A and B are shown apart, each in its own frame.
Chain A
Amino acid sequence: MQSPDPAPRPEHRGDAARAVRREVDVDDRGFLDAFAEHLDRVHNLARGLTGSRQDAEDLVQETCLLALRGWRREPPRDPAAWFATICLNAARSSYRRSAARPVEVLADEWLHALPDDGDTADHALASLDVDRVHRALAQLPAVQREAITLMDLGGYSASQTAAIVGSPRGTVLARVHRGRKALAGVLVATDGGGW
């Protein structure tokens, strides 16, 4: 067995890092600044579109690479919507490749189990379990999950979301409304001790 050489490298890693930084192209620096500005939003989209934190981080990095290549061809006029479109398309490609699209059977069950009038938003948040909500989101039909992710996690308006997913605004509103009702149905299952 050979042991790794414990001797320090002749070149300090920090020096190497700085050397790499010096080589960053000016246009790429502009991209990096823009992507960093929207990273929170892209990350939230990725969390809503994937099933785990690691998959989300992979998707963010894939989005970053794809966007960088597009940016070099021509920087977009609306980076926020553009990053979202790339992230969404990459997620769609990913779950087509992995055939891991979540099952959709539970959504209708939730729609038939809406909370009683006595339930309130405060009650919903008081019993919040983030992992449970994530699982519920993951099991929505893809079009509802995408609409909710863009509007409620990403903060995009209905009109922006309609442009990103390529559907009429009214269709997007219907999808997000049904998806929100399905999410609220999670609370019913929680209160009943199931799920």
Chain B
Amino acid sequence: MRRHDPERDAARYLGGGLSPEVAAAFSSHLLHCPDCAREVDTARQGRALAESLRGVPPVALRERVRALVEAESASAPEPPVRWRHRWSVPVAVSVAASVAVALVVVTGGSGTTEPPSLREAVADFRAAELPGAQLPRAGAPDLSALQLQPTGAGGGTYAGLEVDGYAYRDPAGRRVVVYLSDAPFPEAPGARRLAGEDGPWIAQRQDVVVLCARVPHALLVVGEDDALVRETAGELGVL
């Protein structure tokens, strides 16, 4: 080795790239060089601590990855088609009986009881959780026009209501989650209607905005940024 430099020499020794002869010589050197021995011992302690952080991914993450790939794969053959077109048939059929569109603002005012499904959706959004680890029934809505990239998808239930959730982030890191269901989401008390007597409604729950519509799709859009939530709803064709 070149000039004695305990830090450099210990780093090379632990890096495993030394020839057997050089490594053996350095091992002997450690017996009577406290500085080098200390460098090696300390770095080994740090390595043991770092290696102790290794873990196994949660089963739910493994399922979400699988769902993500399968959803992407299912939607890949028709890239130019916008989400609202791909979804218009199955979703519109499922809610054919519902003609009115409702958009409400959940104000969370005193004396009102928020429906459990909405409360769970908001709580999951805050916790960055999805409704469950089941496969969504279709690919993620295409929100690329808003520069929203999908970050996760999963299906489950909220208070007995079967829901598929699709999480997104924009380049600024703002999160939006779109929840889809075959059945309409319950209407929240104190919500602010945006259009029509039974039109879509929007709600502010502290730092979270919830926008709800029933037609052409039964959905919730939940996010932290009011404008982004509205833009998302617009992109999905409910505003």
Contacts and interface: CB of A to CB of B under 8 A. Distances in A.
Interface in A147-195: 148-149, 152-153, 157-159, 169-170, 173-174, 176-184, 186-187
A143 interface: no
Contacts, number: 221
Contact of A1 (B51, B129, B136, B186): B186
Contact of A36 (B53, B65, B137): B65
A46 to B, nearest CB: 9
Contact of A169 (B17, B50, B58, B129): B17
B29 interface: no
Most buried by A among B55, B136, B169, B188: B55
B13 to A, nearest CB: 10
B62 A177 contact: no
Contacts of B25: none
Interface centre among A47, A58, A181 (most CB of B within 10 A): A181
A39 B57 contact: yes
A68 interface: yes
Contact of A173 (B12, B34, B74, B185): B12
A130 B72 contact: no
A64 B69 contact: yes
A61 B135 contact: no
Contact of B45 (A48, A57, A124, A134): A124
B20 interface: no
A153 B64 contact: no
Interface of A: 1-6, 9, 13, 16-17, 20-21, 23-25, 28, 31-32, 35-36, 39-40, 43-44, 47-48, 54, 57-58, 60-62, 64-65, 68, 72, 94, 97-98, 114-115, 117, 119-121, 124-125, 128, 130, 133-134, 136-137, 148-149, 152-153, 157-159, 169-170, 173-174, 176-184, 186-187
Interface of B: 7-8, 10-12, 14-17, 34, 37-39, 41-58, 61-62, 64-66, 68-74, 76, 115, 117, 127-129, 134-138, 149-152, 155, 159-162, 167, 169, 171-173, 181-189
Given A5-B183, A43-B55, A43-B57, 13 more contacts: A4-B117, A24-B73, A28-B69, A36-B62, A40-B57, A60-B57, A61-B152, A94-B173, A97-B172, A117-B38, A180-B42, A184-B42, A184-B43
23 contacts: A1-B187, A4-B160, A4-B185, A6-B160, A28-B76, A32-B66, A35-B65, A35-B69, A39-B62, A54-B128, A54-B129, A58-B128, A58-B151, A64-B68, A64-B69, A65-B151, A72-B76, A97-B172, A115-B45, A177-B14, A180-B44, A181-B46, A184-B49
